[in-house]
Amino acid sequence: MTEKFIPLIDHRQYQANLRVPTHLEEPVGKLADTLGRPLHDLRISVTDRCNFRCVYCMPKEVFDKDYAFLPQTSLLSFEEITRIARIFVQHGVRKIRLTGGEPLLRKNLEKLIAMLSAIPTLDGGKLDLTLTTNGSLLARKAKSLKDAGLTRVTVSLDALDETIFQRMNDVDFPVSDVLQGIEAAYEAGLGPVKVNMVVKGGMNDQQIVPMARYFKDTPHILRFIEYMDVGASNGWKLDEVVPSAEVIRKISDAGMQVRAIDPNYTGETAARWRYLDGNGEIGLISSVTQSFCQDCSRARLSTEGKLYTCLFASHGHDLRALIRAQDEQNSGHSDLAISNVVAQLWKARGDRYSELRSENTSEFPVTRKKIEMSYIGG
């Protein structure tokens, strides 16, 4: 038997040398990168741990019992996360998504949600505060999450068939518990619940139609995600990608006709489609075949405080080092100083990995060093 080898580069200790500008400017509530893209969304990973071992994210051959996860002291505290979030809101961020790993594994997460929900947007409104979860703990936590101030949840569910789903999550977790979590979230007021299905050819693509049929006449929004070349641990291959166009064809051939509808806002990751009978909506996230780099307005903060300006980035910028730095007077950098560093980084941003890969997929070097999705969230 041929031994499977998956290259994995640990980028978590990368230290970027960030310098605070000499001249500090007050934030004006709006930033644009080199391609004119605004800063609108901040995704915050609160843990690098997960209780699933999904084959496309945290395969067991890499993330085994000997894998060294980050120690608790390396993680940003809730106070540090809130401080950074407040700085980003001053630059125009209106939406914050909590991710992982599995974010519900972070102890007392409701406390962080309450702290973040108290941050007003620049116009005095409420932040759109969301969370992505595998659903394993959602049934028991949905109400407390809502009470703390969470707005909505997105739940990962890659199959309805028990055998296929357990092969995907690789820990024998049952489908029924995730479905219960989805319903509990909806009943708690965390809707519309978005359900994400990563489609991997040869593994769960036969579940496209059953998933569409199951969620069609519900208030939930099912979103099909093309299997992406995030990180290096999943052994990504182009021939395992099921194009979104093929997903639409399968659903239509099954008698569920859909039509494209307008996005909710510029930069929305999922292309929206609605059933012609009006009973439901689906989304298509097509990072491989139809890049959405040109409208990407998302920044990502890792579990221990590194800022990433692209999901496919190869390195991050260490904001934690700035926050925890101490000078001779035993005082760290001010919020304004850190705000100016963030502004510098975003203004210099020119990332468009998916766009470049989509232009020449067959030859693009997808094997280049990239940070793992389990580390900065999807």
Mean pLDDT of 129-152: 98
Task: Please check whether residue 22 lies inside any domain of the structure.
Answer: no
Q: In this model, does residue 365 exceed pLDDT 80? A: no
Q: Which of 13-27, 124-138, 215-229, 266-280 has the highest mean pLDDT?
A: 124-138
Q: Is 96 domain-assigned? A: yes
Residue 30 lies in a domain: no
Instruction: Flag whether 8 is in a domain.
Output: no
Query: For the residues of 11-50, what is the DSSP string, one character each?
Result: -TT--------SS-----S--B-TTS-B--EEEEE--S--
Query: Is residue 61 classed exposed, middle or buried when 0-12, 13-18 and 19+ CB atoms within 10 A define those classes?
Result: middle
Higher pLDDT, 376 or 197: 197
> Which pTM was predicted?
0.89
Residue with tokens 């400017």: 25
pLDDT on residue 107: 97
Residue 188 has pLDDT above 90, yes or no: yes
pLDDT, residue 218, reads 97
What mean pLDDT comes out for the span 172-186? 97
Kindly tell me if the per-residue pLDDT of 368 is higher than 80.
no
**305 inside domain:** yes
Mean pLDDT for 174-181 is: 98
Distance CA(62)–CA(194), nearest Å, equals 29
pLDDT digits (tens, 9 = 90+) for 30-89: 999 999 999 999 999 999 999 999 988 888 988 998 999 999 999 999 999 999 999 999
Q: What pLDDT, on a 0 to 100 scale, did the predictor assign at position 311?
A: 80
- Residue 20 covered by a domain: no
Contacts with 281 (C-beta within 8 Å, 6 or more apart), sequence order: 221, 261, 272, 273, 274, 275
Count the domains in the chain.
Answer: 1
DSSP H or E stretch at residue 166 = helix 162-169
Q: Which domain holds residue 138?
A: 41-376
Task: Please give the pLDDT value at position 354.
Answer: 67
CATH number, residue 58: 3.20.20.70
Query: Average model confidence (pLDDT) for the chain?
Result: 88
* Neighbouring residues of 356: CB distance < 8 A, sequence distance ≥ 6: 364
Q: Is the pLDDT assigned to residue 127 strictly greater than 70?
A: yes
Whether the per-residue pLDDT at 231 is higher than 60: the answer is no
Does residue 35 form part of some domain?
no
Residue 28 tokens read as 């004006």
Give yes or no for residue 364 having a pLDDT over 90: no
Beta-bridged to residue 281, according to DSSP, are 274
The answer for residues whose C-beta is within 8 angstroms of residue 197's C-beta and 6 or more apart is: 156, 157, 158, 159, 204, 207, 208, 211, 222, 223, 224, 225
| 341: in domain | yes
